[in-house]
């Protein structure tokens, strides 16, 4: 009798819970494309923001990438991922919902846009870190690369489609009202994550005692600093992000302000 050494069927990569995770990422990305267009549009057209204020809005939106990424990664390793993803989505939805409410009440200010931009940046980092850490629990180890590829491809399509749909929605119903679509996208994302039933594992504390979050972050920084490949990737991504930040700062101002 022969024993098969073939790996499990590739169909395992399309489990219902994995589809829910991918759909959750696509929903939040598609909706976020609306706020990417709507926030600077509101700042310029409704609040008559200056170039300095538009720049501040762009900086505050990107600041969590530098400040929160390592703590978010440490949190995703130490605690359950699903609650983090759900909490991040609900927090983002609540923050965004304040903008159309304030616009309707005619009390919207640039400070509120700053605060919401920071909240959106933080919640995105927390959600993405938890989602990446949760993925290995949803597929077999030999299928992890394929699952990552599918998640990345689906996210890219959703982001591209969302940018076009978001711009069209802002033009059709106005910047403030269009944010309600983003609110719904975050609620849908939270619902999809809530429906995931695959159990997840949480890293046990080391034998020598409970590790502190600061120590985990410090070890992460030392690991990154000691890896030439990772340092190169970070430098490349930082350069790209800098160029995109400059573009995102001024496109709204120069395209929307009447000549």
Domains of the chain plus CATH, in order, are: 14-198+212-256 (1.20.1250.20)
C-alpha 32/C-alpha 160 separation (Å) is 11
Please give the radius of gyration of the chain, using alpha carbons only, rounded to the nearest integer. Answer: 20
C-alpha 111/C-alpha 24 separation (Å) is 30
H helical segments located in the chain: 16-41, 51-67, 69-78, 81-104, 110-138, 144-173, 175-194, 213-225, 228-256
pLDDT tens per residue, the chain (259 residues)? 444 444 434 344 578 888 888 888 888 888 788 888 888 889 888 888 888 888 888 888 888 877 787 788 778 877 889 999 999 999 999 999 999 999 999 999 999 999 999 999 899 889 988 888 888 888 777 777 777 777 777 777 777 777 777 778 888 888 888 899 899 999 999 999 999 988 876 655 555 556 666 776 777 677 777 778 877 877 787 787 777 777 766 666 676 666 5
Cβ proximity of 87 and 164 under 8 Å? no
244 Rama class: left (phi>0) / alpha (psi -120 to 50) / beta = alpha
Q: Residue 26: is it exposed, middle or buried by C-beta count within 10 angstroms (0-12/13-18/19+)?
A: buried
Report the pLDDT value the prediction gives residue 114, as an integer from 0 to 100. Answer: 94
C-alpha 142/C-alpha 139 separation (Å) is 8
Mark 128-162 as b/e (b = at least 16 C-beta within 10 Å). Answer: bbbbebbbebbbbeebeeebeebbeebbeebbeeb
Closest-CA residue to 66 (of 122, 129, 123, 115): 122
């Amino acid at each position: 009798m022969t024993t098969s050494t073939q790996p499990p069927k590739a169909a395992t990569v399309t489990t219902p819970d994995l589809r829910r995770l991918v759909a959750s990422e696509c929903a939040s990305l598609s909706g976020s494309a609306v706020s990417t267009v709507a926030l600077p549009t509101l700042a310029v057209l409704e609040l008559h923001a200056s170039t300095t204020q538009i720049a501040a809005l762009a900086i505050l939106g990107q600041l969590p990438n530098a400040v929160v990424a390592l703590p978010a990664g440490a949190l995703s390793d130490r605690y359950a991922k699903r609650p983090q993803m759900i909490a991040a989505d609900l927090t983002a939805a609540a923050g965004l919902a304040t903008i159309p409410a304030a616009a309707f009440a005619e009390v919207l200010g640039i400070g509120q846009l700053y605060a919401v931009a920071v909240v959106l940046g933080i919640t995105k980092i927390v959600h993405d870190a938890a989602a990446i850490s949760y993925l290995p629990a949803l597929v077999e180890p030999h299928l992890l690369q394929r699952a990552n590829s599918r998640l990345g491809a689906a996210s890219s399509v959703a982001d591209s489609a969302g940018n076009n749909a978001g711009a069209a929605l802002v033009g059709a119903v106005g910047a403030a009202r269009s944010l309600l679509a983003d609110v719904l996208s975050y609620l849908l994302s939270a619902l999809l994550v809530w429906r995931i039933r695959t159990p997840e594992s949480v890293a046990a504390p080391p034998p020598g005692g409970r590790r502190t979050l600061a120590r985990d972050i410090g070890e992460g920084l030392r690991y990154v600093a000691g890896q030439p490949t990772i340092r190169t990737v970070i430098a490349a991504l930082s350069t790209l992000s800098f160029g995109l930040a400059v573009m995102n700062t001024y496109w709204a101002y120069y395209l929307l302000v009447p000549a």
